[in-house]
């Protein structure tokens, strides 16, 4: 299932554009707006190859995922794989279910990830986040991505986890999210406001393609 935009690709494109702008106009602003099928995306370029991306406003309406529920709630019980778990559900432009676990290291990602992803209450399937709350400013996260499996990092998954944790009153407005592939900083000031993701960029390779 194709995504309408990629937060990682946005951060990389913003960094590349900032490098081009710096070379041609040293006084260029660090604010960048990129167009996408989902609409304009705002990004900010910081020092040391750090990029912030506006990830939009978290949407907790079950219909936005979609998720079959009688009404919007902070927590939903879900019968899956012979057990019952509690999830938070939020759309970040793509659907996310978030479980709070005592330890991400021992979380049953391989067992519950695919079972929740294809649960009939998520007719278009769902990304599944397993969140361990270390303290009010720090979480650890593993994400089982729909159609892919467990991934090293997921920007919308990090935002979804922080949004759910904030809604439950367990996280501050700025949170460090530690994923298997690295760390992100997520900032969400209040419900109804845009949530921002900040993370590093790095050159993996350069090359030329004839088209």
Spatial contact of 113 and 150, defined as CB atoms under 8 Å apart: yes
The pLDDT of residue 84 is: 97
Lowest pLDDT segment from 21-30, 72-81, 87-96: 21-30
pLDDT-derived band at 19, boundaries 50, 70, 90: low
Give the separation between CA 37 and CA 170, rounded to whole angstroms.
Answer: 34
The pLDDT of residue 132 is: 98
The pLDDT of residue 10 is: 66
Lowest pLDDT segment from 27-41, 90-104, 170-184, 187-201: 27-41
The pLDDT of residue 107 is: 98
Give the separation between CA 196 and CA 107, rounded to whole angstroms.
Answer: 27
- Whether the pLDDT of residue 108 is over 90: the answer is yes
The per-residue pLDDT of the chain, averaged, comes to 88
- 62-197, CATH topology level: Diaminopimelate Epimerase; Chain A, domain 1 (3.10.310)
Spatial contact of 177 and 161, defined as CB atoms under 8 Å apart: yes
Task: Give the closest residue to 152 by CA, choosing from 182, 177, 191.
Answer: 182
The pLDDT of residue 12 is: 62
* All structural domains of the chain with their residue ranges: 7-54, 62-197
- The DSSP secondary structure of 47-91, one letter per residue, reads STTEEEEE----B--GGGTT---SS--S-EEEEETTEEEEEEEEE
DSSP run (H or E) holding 101: none
Cis, bond preceding 63 (omega within 30 deg of 0): no
Mean pLDDT, to the nearest integer, of 125-143?
A: 98
Give the separation between CA 6 and CA 163, rounded to whole angstroms.
Answer: 19
- Whether the pLDDT of residue 81 is over 50: the answer is yes
Residues in the chain: 211
Spatial contact of 128 and 97, defined as CB atoms under 8 Å apart: yes
The pLDDT of residue 5 is: 47
Note the pTM of the prediction, 2 decimals: 0.87
């Amino acid at each position: 299932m194709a995504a309408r935009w990629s937060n990682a690709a946005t951060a990389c494109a913003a960094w590349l554009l900032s490098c081009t702008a710096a070379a041609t106009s040293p006084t260029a602003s660090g604010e960048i707006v990129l167009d996408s099928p989902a609409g304009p995306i705002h990004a900010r370029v910081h020092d040391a190859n750090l990029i912030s991306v506006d990830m939009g406003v978290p949407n907790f309406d079950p219909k936005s995922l979609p998720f079959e529920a009688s009404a919007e709630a902070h927590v939903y019980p879900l019968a899956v794989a012979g057990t019952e778990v509690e999830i938070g559900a939020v759309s970040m432009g793509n659907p996310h279910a978030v479980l709070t676990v005592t330890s991400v290291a021992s979380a049953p990602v391989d067992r519950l990830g695919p079972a929740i992803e294809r649960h009939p209450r998520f007719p278009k399937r769902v990304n599944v986040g397993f969140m361990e709350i270390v303290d009010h400013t720090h979480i650890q996260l593993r994400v089982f991505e729909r159609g892919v499996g467990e991934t090293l990092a997921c920007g919308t998954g990090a935002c979804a986890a922080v949004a759910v944790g904030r809604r439950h009153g367990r996280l501050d407005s700025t949170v460090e999210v530690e994923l298997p592939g690295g760390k992100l900083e997520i900032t969400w000031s209040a419900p109804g406001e845009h949530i921002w993701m900040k993370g590093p960029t790095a050159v993996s390779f350069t090359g030329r393609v004839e088209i």
